[in-house]
Amino acid sequence: METLTIAQLGNPILREHATPLSAAQYQEFAPFFNALQLKMLENNGVGIAAPQVSESIRAFIVASRPNPRYPDAPMMEPTLMLNPEITWASESMEKDWEGCLSIPGIRALVNRHSHIEVRYDTLEGKEVKTQMEGFIARIFQHELDHLNGLVFLDRAE
């Protein structure tokens, strides 16, 4: 596979509703998911969604870690999430700063649900149901937006 390029705002792929993966396809995409994670790490991202490298499928990686903007962000293993969904979202919202690899140099205050319950499949096809809060919940919501053709500026206060 050729090296991945990050689509920038204006590229119509960022405005598509990404296609769900069938469990039969998960392993087939394993090499792509490895390249996707490398691309995120290369760019010091805390997340990345497949449509950002022009692959319009419902998959993203969440990889919270302490960083200059969020020094107290939790440290987590980069986690690949397939066919991810929010199954419950709190009424309570929190505003905080976000950036995006597809919109370099711009930061904006974005309102997100403080707590969410989510489900996603792992590469092995196992369903995971879990809850998230704080910065990790924020990243999940930011990446899920990418699968639905939204970017954080669409929600900027």
DSSP 3-state of 115: strand
Min. distance of Cβ 24 from ligand K2U in angstroms? 27
**Among positions 7, 100, 116, 137, the unique one binding ligand K2U when judged by CB under 6 A:** 100
- Euclidean distance between CA atoms 25 and 137, whole angstroms: 27
Tell me: does residue 98 bind ligand K2U (CB under 6 A): yes
H helices of 9-95, where? Answer: 23-26, 30-42
Residue type, 26: Y
**Among positions 7, 100, 132, 139, the unique one binding Zn ion when judged by CB under 5 A:** 100
| Bridge partners, 82 (sequence order) | 59, 121
Fill in the per-residue mask, 130 to 149: x = in contact with ligand K2U (CB under 6 A), - = not in contact: --------xx--xx--x---
Radius of gyration from C-alpha coordinates of the chain: 15
Catalytic residues: 143
What is the binding site for ligand K2U (CB under 6 A)? 45-49, 67, 69-70, 98-102, 138-139, 142-143, 146
